[in-house]
Amino acid sequence: MADQTDDGTKTLDSSDSGESPGVVFPPESPEEGIPHSSATHFNNDLKSVLVTSVLNLEALDVDLYRGTHHWVPRTQRLFGGQIVGQALVAAAKSVSDHHYAHSLHCYFVRAGDPKVPVLYQVERTRDGRSFCVRSVKAIQHGQPILICQASFHMLQESPLQHQFTMPVVPQPEDLLTVEELIHQYLSKPDLAETARQGLNKLLANEVPIEIKPVNPPHFYRHTATQPKQLFWVRARGHIGEGNMKLHCCVAAYVSDYAFLGTALLPYPNYRAKFSASLDHAMWFHSTFRTDEWMLYECESPWAGGSRGLVQGRLWRRDGVLAVSCSQEGVLRVRPATQPSKL
Ligand SMILES: CC(C)(COP(=O)(O)OP(=O)(O)OC[C@H]1O[C@@H](n2cnc3c(N)ncnc32)[C@H](O)[C@@H]1OP(=O)(O)O)[C@@H](O)C(=O)NCCC(=O)NCCSC(=O)CC(=O)O
């Protein structure tokens, strides 16, 4: 499980029992089992597995689809980003080519079971002149695991236009990927054997997203930081331009990864014994490509009552604000008892 350092980065704590999926960066404790994955190795020259597999739903009937799993967190509960991304794919199939997703609002009401596929049932809630609204229910074992409402809008010009300014950060070419950072750590001669094994397991974690932390994590250090973090992120593999609906669905997948962990950054003396996203909302502002580097700026304005709120912004690297996100998650913690292994 990750902890934070005073320079805004995270460390991995080997003592965590690891019940929480994707709540800290990296979202897997190195001492935990290798997450289940049906993935083969990724290659950036190849089409993204997000497009060929994860977001490639099977049509069963009108407005009824089936989705299968790719990467499953070690918690063996389905990754929330996958369910939201697939729900948005299902919703988008029922709107015209001229309507683009502008927002979605979801509740995760039950844990997703990785042993069976997910059915997506779309209700065409309303078709207006400018906006279309869809309700999607993700179902397993006859019960909803996610309820999602997505809204689509036709492109419309307006003189009203403003946005925040993108934070100034190093460019992705000047930063290391998570895998490169882990390799760097593995080359340390004084690394404890358990930590080495754990980091090797992390390397086997084939999440279909590439991540370059702006403040590289110092694994196994325990320092509280502000609840803010910045990553460069992109889908592994090629997606290509042109299909904006698809990029929104990929952004939905990406946006849930390690997002809730932002709320844990000030609390290195606690471990998440249970954490899961409760809801997830997104607003799509501009065109973007998820197979190109985007800056994910995450912050947590509040935590309390065993819950944490996180807010995020996905920036195009040219400074255009592409997506805004919000999520609340349940965060049940316990005091950290074991000392650092380093
Ligand atoms: C959040 C929920 C568990 C609802 O919580 P509830 O507490 O109401 O559910 P429940 O009663 O079934 O209890 C679930 C477990 O929590 C325990 N439990 C319940 N209330 C408790 C309390 N006050 N204190 C301590 N434990 C408690 C129960 O005993 C049970 O444990 P036991 O099971 O041991 O009996 C559920 O809505 C849910 O699973 N939603 C889906 C969340 C999800 O999968 N999100 C996407 C994945 S997360 C993700 O992808 C992103 C990320 O995490 O970053």
Atom number in ligand 1 closest to CA 108: 41
**Cα separation, 22 vs 264, whole angstroms:** 12
CA distances from 226 to 1, 239, 325 (A): 17, 34, 19
| pLDDT in the model for residue 40 | 37
Strands in 64-67's sheet, in edge-to-edge order, are 58-61, 64-67, 118-127, 131-140, 143-154, 99-108, 270-284, 321-335, 307-316, 294-304, 228-235, 209-213
| pLDDT in the model for residue 280 | 98
To the query of whether residue 318 is one of the catalytic residues in this protein, the response is no
User: What residue's CA is closest to ligand 1, atom 34?
Assistant: 274
- Whether the pLDDT of residue 63 is over 70: the answer is yes
- Whether the pLDDT of residue 279 is over 90: the answer is yes
- Whether the pLDDT of residue 1 is over 50: the answer is no
pLDDT band at 60 (very low <50, low <70, confident <90, very high): very high
| pLDDT in the model for residue 2 | 32
28 and 201 in contact (C-beta within 8 Å)? yes
Average pLDDT score, the chain: 85
The interface predicted TM-score of the complex, written ipTM, equals 0.93
pLDDT, one tens digit per residue, over 76-135 is 899 999 999 999 999 999 999 999 999 999 999 999 999 999 999 999 999 999 999 999
Mutate to test the pocket of ligand 1, among 1, 140, 277, 298 (most ligand atoms within 8 A of CB): 277
pLDDT, one tens digit per residue, over 224-268 is 999 999 999 999 999 998 789 999 999 999 999 999 999 999 999
Residue at token pair 């289940």 = 36
DSSP secondary structure code for residue 37 in this structure: B
pLDDT, one tens digit per residue, over 292-325 is 999 999 999 999 999 999 999 999 999 999 999 9
74 and 33 in contact (C-beta within 8 Å)? yes
**Cα separation, 253 vs 247, whole angstroms:** 10
* Residue 262 alpha carbon to ligand 1 centre in Å: 19
pLDDT band at 199 (very low <50, low <70, confident <90, very high): confident
CA distances from 86 to 69, 139, 242, 257 (A): 10, 12, 19, 15
User: Whose CA is closest to 245, among 90, 117, 125?
Assistant: 90
Q: Which of 256, 275, 279, 324 is labelled catalytic?
A: 256
Q: Which of 255, 277, 300, 324 is labelled catalytic?
A: 277
32-36, 183-187, 218-222: range with lowest mean pLDDT: 32-36
324 and 18 in contact (C-beta within 8 Å)? no
To the query of whether residue 61 is one of the catalytic residues in this protein, the response is no
What tokens appear for 242 in the block?
A: 């042109």
* Residue 37 alpha carbon to ligand 1 centre in Å: 23
Task: Give the burial class of 126: count Cβ atoms within 10 A of its Cβ; 0-12 exposed, 13-18 middle, 19 or more buried.
Answer: exposed
Question: Residues enclosing ligand 1, CB less than 6 A?
Answer: 21-23, 77, 79-80, 108-112, 256, 259-260, 274-278, 329-330, 332
273 and 17 in contact (C-beta within 8 Å)? yes
What is the model's pTM?
0.87
* Residue 332 alpha carbon to ligand 1 centre in Å: 9
Atom number in ligand 1 closest to CA 274: 16
Q: Which domains does the chain have, with CATH numbers?
A: 49-155+169-335 (2.40.160.210)
Q: Which of 86, 255, 327, 340 is labelled catalytic?
A: 327
Atom number in ligand 1 closest to CA 77: 44
Q: How far is residue 311 CA from its own chain's centroid?
A: 12
User: What are residue 47's DSSP bridge partners?
Assistant: 238
To the query of whether residue 171 is one of the catalytic residues in this protein, the response is no
Q: What is the dihedral of CA 173, 327, 324, 66, to 10 degrees?
A: 90
- The phi-psi region of residue 254 (left if phi > 0; otherwise alpha if psi is between -120 and 50; otherwise beta) is alpha
pLDDT, one tens digit per residue, over 138-166 is 999 999 999 999 999 999 999 999 999 99
- Whether the pLDDT of residue 38 is over 70: the answer is no
* Residue 331 alpha carbon to ligand 1 centre in Å: 9
| pLDDT in the model for residue 200 | 86
User: What residue's CA is closest to ligand 1, atom 31?
Assistant: 274
DSSP secondary structure code for residue 271 in this structure: E
Give the SS3 label for residue 334.
Answer: strand
